[in-house]
């Protein structure tokens, strides 16, 4: 009988992936520290609880995902992925260090945060599709869904630690130190990648050089109705639902009147749900459109419960539901789109996925922030709930219009 634990963590048998996961865990803790510190800096130090300003920061941070979409996917398909990742990781580390110095020196201004959000977002826009397709190069297609889920497990395990540590740092020594520690944490990724066994990378999973660019990737997706439907679902939830910095911070500050530690604790509580969802996904062999339907529907339900939460701990419980559902949904879209796409197109298709999922934030975040300011955070959460239910309806429509499962052909051919 197969050991379910070994099945859940099977990708860690790969030496390179073990190094990647260890370095990523350290860096992810720093990333979550910076996210909390940046939100707290904008909301309580640089503005007077202005959710719209926070929405602008989010918009600037994710706008590059769409602005640079014609180039980021092509870079992922054509350039050396390991070297490109080391460059983007180093760039984000330096930007975090500089922002930390400005904050500690007491000279940081709101426009500085805007600029650094855009610059960091630009590096992340180039980093994201490479990082996602590089997983296949490390473990191969057979273990790809498991490796994607374990990547999310690392990211969300860090979410349990980073926000809580950031809350303590902010309360005791100041916001800027969270930025500095995040900058230093990128060294863990760079060191781990420098020790990779290059001979063990799966060259067959690499995309081949091609003279065509982003438009070919767009046409490739447009010809596949299932991929089109997934992108629509991603747009809905990514644009109006994945605005957790606004949801959590405004509820913590304006509704429950929490301090920095209470705010950080809510983000850590949410990680309980996302970590559970990641481990569940790691134990599954392949995702399906039905799992996306379930994830989107429960996400909408979780946002509804959060909007109606009568107290701090009830809100935290709802965040656990949102985290598990959101992770199930986003991980599923990642694995399905990679496994149903030929290797030569993966970089461009994944860039399109990230661009749609995160690139809608410049549209949704300012709207959600404005609603939170004008009508209250609970109404902003209502928008997230509506996005989840709308995405679920898209999946219902697709499932009712066809008989064969989503991965019946594409995934099987790719995974052989």
Of 167-171, 185-189, 356-360, 394-398, the least confident: 356-360
Domains, the chain, ordered by start? 22-415 (1.20.1250.20)
What are the CA-CA distances from residue 348 to residues 74, 112, 209, 236, 335 (Å)?
A: 6, 32, 12, 21, 15
Residue 13 has pLDDT above 80, yes or no: yes
Of 81-90, 302-311, 343-352, 391-400, the least confident: 343-352
Angle at 320 between CA 313 and CA 124, to 5 degrees: 120
Q: Model confidence over 197-246: pLDDT tens digits?
A: 888 887 644 444 444 556 777 778 778 878 888 989 999 998 899 888 78
Q: Model confidence over 290-341: pLDDT tens digits?
A: 888 989 999 999 999 999 999 999 999 999 999 889 888 888 888 788 777 7
Residues 6+ apart with CB under 8 A from 326: 237, 241, 242, 274, 277, 295, 299
Both tokens assigned to 91: 């760039």
**What per-residue string of b and e applies to 178-201 under the rule 16 or more CB within 10 Å gives b?**
bbbbbbbbbbbbbebbeebeeeeb
Residue 278 has pLDDT above 80, yes or no: no
Q: What pLDDT is recorded for position 65?
A: 80
Query: CA 221 to CA 333: how far, in whole Å?
Result: 13
pLDDT grade, residue 109 (50/70/90)?
very high
Residues 166 and 32: beta-carbon distance below 8 Å: yes
The region, left, alpha or beta by phi > 0 then psi within -120 to 50, assigned to residue 108 is: beta
pTM for the full predicted model = 0.72
């Amino acid at each position: 009988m197969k050991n379910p634990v070994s099945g859940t963590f099977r990708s860690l048998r790969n030496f390179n992936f073990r190094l990647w996961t260890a370095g990523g865990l350290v860096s992810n803790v720093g990333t979550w520290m910076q996210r909390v510190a940046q939100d707290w800096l904008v909301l309580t130090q640089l503005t007077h609880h202005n959710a719209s300003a926070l929405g602008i920061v989010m918009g600037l941070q994710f706008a590059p995902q769409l602005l640079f979409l014609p180039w980021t996917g092509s870079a992922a398909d054509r350039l050396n992925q390991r070297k490109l990742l080391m460059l983007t990781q180093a760039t984000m580390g330096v930007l975090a260090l500089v922002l930390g110095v400005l904050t500690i020196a007491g000279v940081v201004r709101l426009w500085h945060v805007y600029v650094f959000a855009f610059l960091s977002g630009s590096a992340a826009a180039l980093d994201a599709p490479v990082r996602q397709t590089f997983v296949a190069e490390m473990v191969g297609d057979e273990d790809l869904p498991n490796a994607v889920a374990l990547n999310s497990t690392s990211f969300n395990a860090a979410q349990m630690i980073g926000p809580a540590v950031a809350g303590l740092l902010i309360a005791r020594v100041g916001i800027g130190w969270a930025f500095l520690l995040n900058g230093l944490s990128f060294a863990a990724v760079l060191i781990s990648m420098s020790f990779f066994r290059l001979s063990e990378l799966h060259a067959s999973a690499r995309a081949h050089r091609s003279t065509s660019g982003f438009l070919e990737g767009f046409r490739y997706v447009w010809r596949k109705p299932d991929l089109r439907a997934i992108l629509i679902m991603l747009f809905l939830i990514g644009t109006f639902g994945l605005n957790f910095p606004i949801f959590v911070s405004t509820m913590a500050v304006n509704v429950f009147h929490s301090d920095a530690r209470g705010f950080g604790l809510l983000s850590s509580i949410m990680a309980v749900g996302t970590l559970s969802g990641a481990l569940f996904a790691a134990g599954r062999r392949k995702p399906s459109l039905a799992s996306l339907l379930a994830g989107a529907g429960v996400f909408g339900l979780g946002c509804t419960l959060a909007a109606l939460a009568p107290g701090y701990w009830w809100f935290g419980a709802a965040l656990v539901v949102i985290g598990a559902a959101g992770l199930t949904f986003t991980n599923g879209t990642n694995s399905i789109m990679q496994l149903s796409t030929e290797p030569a197109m993966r970089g461009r298709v994944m860039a399109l996925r990230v661009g749609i999922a995160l690139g809608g934030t410049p549209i949704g975040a300012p709207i959600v922030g404005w609603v939170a300011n004008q009508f209250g955070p609970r109404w902003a959460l209502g928008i997230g709930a509506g996005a989840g239910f709308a995405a679920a309806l898209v999946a219902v429509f697709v499932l009712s219009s066809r008989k064969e499962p989503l991965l019946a052909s594409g995934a099987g051919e790719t995974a052989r």
